[in-house]
Structure 1
Amino acid sequence: MPLYGVFHAIEGTNIWFVAAFWLILAGIIYGAAVAIGPETIGVDLRIVREK
């Protein structure tokens, strides 16, 4: 079943709800990855890559 069929009960004829849903979900995942990832200010990334 395509996503449109899954969200049809919520969105009705507004097909942009599915796009907004996935963009918001991607933003939340990206934000969590940024918050969890290490800080790299002042770190020479060429040295980290060689290890």
Structure 2
Amino acid sequence: MIAIAHPILISILQELIKVRVCTCGDLVSELGFAQATISQHLQELKNAGIIQEL
């Protein structure tokens, strides 16, 4: 189960809503979190069916 209330996850979702399409590197640059952290949360979002990879 994914913790939607996690602050980093919320930041990622807000950025994805704003820009609609971006890469992990874009999120790292914009949000300032480590690449591994962003990747982990993106994988959780993909596994939950909340986002999809293009």
TM-score w.r.t. length of structure 1: 0.33
Larger Rg: 1
TM-score w.r.t. length of structure 2: 0.32
Higher helix fraction (1 or 2): 1
Larger RCO (alpha carbons 8 Å, 6+ apart): 2
